[in-house]
C-alpha cells in the first residue's frame, strides 16, 4: 500500500442497525466508488452486518469489524472485534471488554446534544476522564449539524493528546465516505491503525445535505415494522 494512501471512514452503519436501510453490500460498493481503502462498519450494538459487509467488500477495500456500543455513560466506537460487546455496561467496562478482544476504541460525537453522547448532562466529567484512555476522538462527525460539537470535540482531542479523526457516521449510501481520514501506513490491523493515527491523520471534513438525515426516522419506522429493533442489554448478537 502507498504509505500515504490509506483513506478510512471509522464510523458507518448498515441495515443491521435499527436506524438504517442501507444494505451491507450497497455500503461497501459506495465506499469503493468514493475511493476509501478502509471502512469500519459500526452498527448499533451488533456485528453481523459488519461481517456481511466484509464478505461482500470489493477488491481494494478492507472492512473492519466494528460496533457502536451504547454504554451507561454514552456511546463508544470499537473496531477489530470478533464478537459484539453487549450494551449497558459502563464506559470503563466496555473499553475493557474491547481490549480483551484486541480491539481499539474511539469516542463518537462526544458533544452532540441529540444523541447518546458522552458529554450529555453529567457525562462531561466522564468523557474528560476517559478521553486519554481511548485511541481516537471524532473531531469531525458529518452528521453533527447543530451547535459547536465538532469544535469542542477537536479541542478535547488536543487537550487529551488523542488523535482526532473525521467520520461520516453514514446511515445511507449517500453519506458513505463524505468525511474520512487519510493515514500514512496500513490501518488493516489494530497495531497498524494505532501507529497510523499516531503518525498524524489528515481530516477530510465533508457534510451531506441535512435532508439526508430525514431518512433516519423513516428507517426506524420501517425497521420496527420488520421487527428490527434496537438491541437490548444482554441481547447483543
Rounded to an integer, what distance in angstroms lies between the CA atom of residue 189 and that of residue 168?
21
CA distances to 123, 162, 164 from 153, in Å: 14, 11, 8
Alpha helices in 43-122 (DSSP H): 48-56, 91-100
Residue 237's pLDDT is 47
Rounded to an integer, what distance in angstroms lies between the CA atom of residue 93 and that of residue 230?
21
Coil, helix or strand at residue 118: coil
Domains in the chain (CATH in brackets) are 6-225 (3.20.20.140)
Alpha helices in 19-123 (DSSP H): 24-33, 48-56, 91-100
- The strand pairing partners of 137, in sequence order, are 107, 164
- Record the cell numbers describing residue 118, joined without a space: 458522552
CB atoms within 10 A of CB 149: 22
Query: Digits of tens for pLDDT over the chain (237 positions)?
Result: 444 579 999 999 999 999 999 999 999 999 999 999 999 999 999 999 999 999 999 999 999 999 999 999 889 999 999 999 999 999 999 999 999 999 999 999 999 877 667 665 555 667 788 898 999 999 999 999 888 999 999 999 999 999 999 999 999 999 999 999 999 999 999 999 999 999 999 999 998 887 887 888 889 999 999 988 888 786 544
Of 123, 155, 168, 127, whose CA–CA distance to 30 is shortest? 168
With 0-12 / 13-18 / 19 or more C-beta atoms within 10 angstroms meaning exposed / middle / buried, residue 156 is buried
CB 98 within 8 A of CB 104: yes
Residue 4's pLDDT is 55
Rounded to an integer, what distance in angstroms lies between the CA atom of residue 150 and that of residue 109?
7
Residue 167's pLDDT is 98
Amino acid at each position: 500500500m502507498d504509505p500515504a494512501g490509506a483513506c478510512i471512514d471509522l464510523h458507518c452503519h448498515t441495515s443491521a442497525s435499527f436506524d438504517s436501510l442501507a444494505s451491507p453490500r450497497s455500503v461497501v460498493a459506495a465506499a469503493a466508488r468514493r475511493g476509501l481503502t478502509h471502512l469500519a462498519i459500526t452498527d448499533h450494538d451488533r456485528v453481523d452486518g459488519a461481517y456481511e459487509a466484509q464478505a461482500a467488500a470489493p477488491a481494494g477495500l478492507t472492512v473492519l469489524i466494528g460496533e457502536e456500543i451504547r454504554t451507561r455513560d454514552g456511546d463508544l466506537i470499537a473496531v477489530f472485534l470478533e464478537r459484539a460487546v453487549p450494551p449497558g455496561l459502563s464506559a470503563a467496562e466496555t473499553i475493557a471488554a474491547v481490549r480483551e478482544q484486541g480491539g481499539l476504541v474511539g469516542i463518537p460525537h462526544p458533544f452532540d446534544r441529540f444523541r447518546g453522547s458522552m458529554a450529555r448532562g453529567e457525562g462531561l466529567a466522564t468523557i474528560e476522564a476517559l478521553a486519554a484512555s481511548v485511541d481516537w476522538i471524532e473531531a469531525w462527525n458529518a452528521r453533527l449539524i447543530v451547535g459547536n460539537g465538532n469544535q469542542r470535540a477537536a479541542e478535547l482531542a488536543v487537550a487529551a493528546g488523542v488523535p482526532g479523526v473525521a467520520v461520516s457516521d453514514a446511515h445511507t449510501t449517500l453519506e458513505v465516505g463524505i468525511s474520512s481520514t487519510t493515514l500514512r501506513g496500513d490501518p488493516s490491523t489494530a497495531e497498524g491503525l494505532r501507529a497510523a493515527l499516531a503518525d498524524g491523520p489528515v481530516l477530510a471534513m465533508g457534510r451531506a445535505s441535512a435532508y439526508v438525515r430525514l431518512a433516519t426516522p423513516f428507517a426506524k419506522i420501517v425497521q420496527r415494522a420488520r421487527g428490527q429493533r434496537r438491541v437490548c442489554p444482554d441481547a447483543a448478537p
